Amino acid sequence: MKFIVITYLIFCASLYPSSKISAQHTIIFCGETVPANNAIVSGKLMDVIRKQVKNINMPALRKRANTYFPWIEDYLKKNNLPADLKYIPIIESGFQNLTSSAGAGGFWQLMPATARGIGLNVSESGDDRENFYKSTYAACRTLTDYYRMIRNKYNISSWVLTAAAYNFGIGNIFNAVKKQGNNDYFSMNLNAETASYVYKIIAVKELFEYPEFYMKDFGYNIFNALQNPPGHLQETQADTTAFNVMTVDVSNNDSLNNISSSKGTQQPGNVVSVAANIIGKYKKFTDGELISFQLQQDLIVKNTFNKKGNIIKGAGWMIDDRIYIDLGYEDHDVVIVSPLNGKKGILPSELKKDELIILRVQTN
């Protein structure tokens, strides 16, 4: 019987009406922690996330992104660049060969002088910026150069400021830092476009990597809005008893530990694994449908106890080709993670009666 891992995640933030991001959800960009505990940063980021939903929700964009991401990730890895930089082309061009009014062109929206400086041909005879491979190489070179220049000048390692320089130009960033005496992007006074640029990249990353955080308070599947109008969740909301869960770790996809004990198995990093089974049949899954799980072991988290045999219910949501689970708790969400490839969500074909799953909870 195939194992499926369900991981409890802390709900990041409400899109309606709150504009604050839960301190329990640490937002990371290129290895740097985004200061979401700052009310101004948190409010601005949530506002940008709301605005980016309609863009990220476009099937054509998601298809293009999923096509090009593996190639970009490979280029970034070979150049020792953070994988999060793969989201830049979404903000720049939506993975389309476009030319801006300022003359920037291609997926990465490189300016002619920048492209020529790296050896690309930009002339009447042709434009290498429209070549995905050449332009990606040029973008990697540009980002690497900016990062090193910032590190050499200010003795800091900041991909956040590097990304801002990609939009504003390294010279303009240096001038802004000199004028303001501040090299912290999140507290700098920059032009409107650059001031929101990194926020947009982070927002896109959040919506691609943690989509389950941004559906609960909408009340419908924001990633499939045409099929699921507002109010859909209220018709199928799970009736569950919440229990306290602290932070979680979705990166540990090692082989599952022994689960024969009547209590949850303790794993390294205070991760408790508890066996459960899917109850019911779901041959024709639809968004918002309730999915039931029966605990096969006692689950104890902090001072909250869930007994073996208890049934947990949650609404399922289809995002791309996978199903995510929301147990309907006030402060907690559930997503499914494949133990084989680390992907969140479960394929509809894997959602079947008596399928063994593992509830993985990091207790802190």
How confident is the model over 103-134, as pLDDT tens digits? 999 999 999 999 999 999 999 999 999 999 99
Residue 17: band (very low, low, confident or very high) from pLDDT cuts 50, 70, 90 = very low
Quickly count: other Cβ atoms within 10 Å of residue 243's Cβ: 20
Q: Which residue matches tokens 């024969």? A: 260
| The pLDDT value given to residue 263 | 58
pLDDT at 169 over 60: yes
DSSP 109: T
| Cis upstream peptide for 17 (omega within 30°) | yes
Do 334 and 6 touch, CB atoms closer than 8 A? yes
Do 23 and 11 touch, CB atoms closer than 8 A? no
Residue spans of alpha helices (H) in 79-226: 88-92, 112-117, 132-154, 159-168, 170-180, 192-209
Residues 6+ apart with CB under 8 A from 266: 272
Residue 316: band (very low, low, confident or very high) from pLDDT cuts 50, 70, 90 = confident
Polymer length in residues for the chain: 364
| Pair of tokens at residue 253 | 């996809």
| The pLDDT value given to residue 56 | 80
Q: Over the stretch 191-217, which tens digit does the pLDDT of each residue have? A: 999 999 999 999 999 888 887 676 655
pLDDT at 258 over 50: no
Q: Work out the mean pLDDT of the chain and round it to a whole number.
A: 76
| The pLDDT value given to residue 215 | 65
| The pLDDT value given to residue 226 | 45
Please tell me the least confidently modeled range out of 41-55, 70-84, 169-183, 324-338: 324-338
Domain boundaries, the chain: 4-8+221-362, 23-95+133-213
Q: Between 308 and 302, name the one with better pLDDT.
A: 308
pLDDT at 250 over 60: no
Residues 6+ apart with CB under 8 A from 238: 290, 313, 314, 315, 326, 327, 328
| The pLDDT value given to residue 88 | 97
pLDDT at 175 over 50: yes
| Pair of tokens at residue 269 | 């990093």
| The pLDDT value given to residue 5 | 42
| The pLDDT value given to residue 225 | 52
Q: Over the stretch 50-102, which tens digit does the pLDDT of each residue have? A: 888 888 877 788 889 989 999 999 999 999 999 999 999 999 999 999 999 88
pLDDT at 268 over 70: no
Mean pLDDT score, 305-313: 83
Please tell me the least confidently modeled range out of 40-44, 90-94, 209-213, 306-310: 209-213
